[in-house]
Amino acid sequence: MTAGTERLGARIAYLGPEGTFTHEAVRRWTAAGGAEPPERSDAALEPEPLATVREVHDAVASGAAGRGVVAIESSVEGYVVPSLDALVGSPDVVAVDEVVLDISFDAFVRPGHADPSRLREASAHPHGLAQCTRFVAEHGLLPVPASSNAAACRDLADHQVAFGPRLCGELYDLETLATGVEDFAGARTRFLVLCRRDGAPVAWAPRRASGTGPWRTMVAVTPVVTGPGVLARVTAEFAERGVNMSSLVERPLKVRERQYVFVVTLDGAPWEPQVRDLFGALLGAGDSLKVLGAFPVAADGPGLDGVLPDHAPTGSVRRDDGGADLARGLLW
Amino acid sequence: MTAGTERLGARIAYLGPEGTFTHEAVRRWTAAGGAEPPERSDAALEPEPLATVREVHDAVASGAAGRGVVAIESSVEGYVVPSLDALVGSPDVVAVDEVVLDISFDAFVRPGHADPSRLREASAHPHGLAQCTRFVAEHGLLPVPASSNAAACRDLADHQVAFGPRLCGELYDLETLATGVEDFAGARTRFLVLCRRDGAPVAWAPRRASGTGPWRTMVAVTPVVTGPGVLARVTAEFAERGVNMSSLVERPLKVRERQYVFVVTLDGAPWEPQVRDLFGALLGAGDSLKVLGAFPVAADGPGLDGVLPDHAPTGSVRRDDGGADLARGLLW
């Protein structure tokens, strides 16, 4: 397949409304040049907010949108499972890039309404309110839930403060009362850039040609049988070839009780020899495989930092601990 | 340790307000006799709503509450990662039981306000609104977000419909307009019953004595080194002993980049011989271990059904597929 054979829609579909963190991820990706694959270097793709992850997938699958952007993983909440399930279940959509964003909230007011004595309410999605409790308490505000942080900013009243991404100030002509008002800094979210499966080789071509890397690949592995040992067999195939799993998540299959599909993110590209060899071995054992995406590791970091503070969780025991500690840690 | 040595608080802490699905899980567990461990068979534990998962943990750790109940896993959203991280990070709290609930929404109105021509708004947590979109559309209602489904029911106005668990109708003296109004039936959520680590043996004693089972154990495994092969080594130890992993989830550690703690749910109890042998082998290899909980498998099901409809996800390829299909499925 060569550049120019694909007729992609001129839009990037994302989970709206305008001003979501996903919208910010779209802007970041566009600014980095991601939105100008060779087949349409003459025009920028236009962001288009949609109401659900399902609609984003459908727009990409039908070709109505050339790209789609969805959140896939958060350092606080883990995988965004509905996004993951949509990708695992889709025959026509794959991930061709990733964007990692720091999740930080600014506090906005309507222009000229920053007088603290007149501000009485704080509005955001319940998750946003839960992440900015200190600011709400310090300012004596009443929390008022909104359907999204972006909607809270868009619909802001004179007596309200809204919490949202920096982008919302510009989009909705708001005054910034304070920046970085989240209780705990450092949360990050990873987004995937989606493309039609047929278009992935074209989307990857310039970066394959330029040697950009290292790459990561997401693959769904559905083992042919289940029970003790199945994950050991699959992980041994990775280990024998020195292919690192950077992430593993399992999702239950509806039709067969206690059967799972494993979604593995591995270090390498699908076309690299050790990955091809690995896939061949898994296929040879009878497993079903589906590559869900591949992309160079995001320039702004190796992924998501954890939130667990210790080397090993407090209360863990090790080999040389005494009998009483072992009994307490292991509940023997 | 013998029954009667523990002075447990007389309360069950849970994520409130009254009328949440977690509250329903508390009631289910109490009705099944779970709230009457031998040391206090003379009194039922009193449910106490708290504002955050952190407060529930703190209440259990301090002994202010004898038990705590938190959601841990949903068939739609996967693991409730903040609940999981709190359990992994806590030195003093373990899970001693589980409850699995069908997640179904009823539509409530204020008594005498069921006239459809006067109902204009639908109120629930944004997640609840997202799960009842068909009912909202069919009744021509305007969605109004609330901080929780329970709060929507509690604060219901005459022109509103609220969505929530069945329990809310009784708690807030509401009239039930319709039952089971969720778009997709079959969602389930699993809850853990928490207890002080010191009190776990007493909590388990009657069921150990009566031979209730089979049991499951949650254990956090922090490998001593990371990189290719670490998960293969851990899973091989399970496979060699025929210990089935019913679930595996990994959480990143904050202090060491790309190092993970694996939270495994396994079939068996910590004191059973093959599990003791497994833990011994992992400790011998240098891993840190911490048992996070153990409980008989819930009577109402073996866990959560999946939402992925196929045996293997659509678009997966297998050994005998042709070259073009393989190339498309694997993006070689």
pLDDT at A10 over 90: no
Whole-number pLDDT of residue B251: 86
pLDDT at A193 over 90: yes
Q: What is the pTM of this model?
A: 0.86
pLDDT at A3 over 50: no
For chain A, the distance separating the N- and C-terminal CA atoms, rounded to the nearest angstrom, is: 60
Q: How confident is the model at residue B8 (pLDDT cuts 50, 70, 90)?
A: low
Please give the CATH architecture assigned to the domain spanning A8-103+188-198: 3-Layer(aba) Sandwich (3.40)
Higher pLDDT, B80 or B311: B80
- Give CATH for domain A213-296: 3.30.70.260
Q: Which tokens sit at A87?
A: 């990708």
User: Which range, A41-55, A307-321, B83-97, B241-255, has the best average confidence (pLDDT)?
Assistant: B83-97
A251 touches chain B (CB under 8 A): yes
pLDDT at B255 over 70: no
**Tell me: the pLDDT tens digits for A225-255?**
777 788 899 999 999 999 988 889 988 776 5
| B199 SS3 class | helix
How far are the Cα atoms of A59, A191, A235 from residue A98, in angstroms, in the given order? 19, 6, 25
Q: Is-same-fold flag (B8-103+188-198; B106-178)?
A: yes
| Contact between chains at B248 and A231 (C-beta distance less than 8 A) | yes
Find where tokens 């029970």 sit. A227
**Average pLDDT of the residues in B89-113:** 94
CA distance linking residue A138 with residue A134, whole number of Å: 6
**Where do the domains of chain B lie?**
8-103+188-198, 106-178, 213-296
Half-sphere exposure of B310 (CA within 13 A, CB side): 14
**Tell me: the pLDDT tens digits for B173-191?**
999 999 999 998 888 899 9
pLDDT at B9 over 60: yes
From the list B245, B279, B312, the residue facing A231 with the nearest CB is: B245
| Contact between chains at B332 and A276 (C-beta distance less than 8 A) | yes
**Average pLDDT of the residues in B3-17:** 70
Whole-number pLDDT of residue A68: 97
| Contact between chains at B330 and A291 (C-beta distance less than 8 A) | yes
Contacts of A210 (CB under 8 A, 6+ apart): none
Whole-number pLDDT of residue B202: 92
Q: Which residues of B244-260 are buried (b: 16+ CB within 10 A; e: fewer)?
A: bbbbbbbbbbbeeeebb
Minimum mean pLDDT among A6-15, B15-24, B130-139, B191-200: which range? A6-15
**CATH 3.30.230.10 at A106-178, yes or no:** no
**Tell me: the pLDDT tens digits for A91-141?**
899 999 999 999 999 999 999 999 989 999 999 998 899 899 999 999 999
Neighbours of B107 (CB within 10 A): 26
Chain B hits for A125, Cβ within 8 Å: 126, 145
CA distance linking residue A174 with residue A126, whole number of Å: 21
Q: How confident is the model at residue A306 (pLDDT cuts 50, 70, 90)?
A: very low
Q: At what angle do helices B230-240 and B273-284 cross, to 10 degrees?
A: 150
Can you say whether the dihedral through the CA atoms of B26, B27, B28, B30 is positive or negative? Answer: positive
Amino acid (one-letter) located at A203: A
pLDDT at A302 over 80: no
Closest C-alpha among B304, B222, B40, B232 to residue A235? B232
On average, the pLDDT of chain B sits at 87
Whole-number pLDDT of residue A258: 60
User: Edge-to-edge, what's the strand order for the sheet holding A142-145?
Assistant: A142-145, A121-124, A160-164, A106-109, A175-178
Whole-number pLDDT of residue A156: 97
| Spatial contact of A14 and A22, defined as CB atoms under 8 Å apart | yes
| Contact between chains at A235 and B231 (C-beta distance less than 8 A) | yes
pLDDT at B332 over 90: no
A286 touches chain B (CB under 8 A): yes
Q: Which residues of A137-155 are buried (b: 16+ CB within 10 A; e: fewer)?
A: eebebebbbbbbbbbbbbe
| ipTM here | 0.82
Whole-number pLDDT of residue B256: 52
CA distance linking residue B304 with residue B298, whole number of Å: 11
| Contact between chains at A309 and B125 (C-beta distance less than 8 A) | no
Whole-number pLDDT of residue B36: 56
Separation in Å, CA of B54 to nearest CA in chain A: 12
Q: Where are the beta strands (DSSP E) in chain A?
A: 11-15, 46-50, 67-74, 78-79, 93-102, 106-109, 121-124, 142-145, 160-164, 175-178, 188-196, 215-222, 245-252, 260-267, 288-296
Q: Find, in chain A, the residue whose alpha carbon is nearest to that of B226.
A: A244
pLDDT at A299 over 80: no
From the list A239, A276, A308, the residue facing B261 with the nearest CB is: A308
**Average pLDDT of the residues in A11-35:** 90
pLDDT at B260 over 70: yes
B235 touches chain A (CB under 8 A): yes
**Tell me: the pLDDT tens digits for B47-69?**
999 988 999 999 999 999 999 99
CA distance linking residue B68 with residue B199, whole number of Å: 13
On average, the pLDDT of chain A sits at 87
Q: How confident is the model at residue B5 (pLDDT cuts 50, 70, 90)?
A: very low
| Contact between chains at B286 and A248 (C-beta distance less than 8 A) | no
Q: Which tokens sit at B58?
A: 């703190």
Q: Find, in chain B, the residue whose alpha carbon is nearest to that of A228.
A: B244
A93 has which bridge partners?
A: A196
pLDDT at B42 over 60: no
**Tell me: the pLDDT tens digits for B137-169?**
999 999 999 989 999 999 999 999 999 999 999
**Average pLDDT of the residues in B7-17:** 82
CA distance linking residue A292 with residue A306, whole number of Å: 24
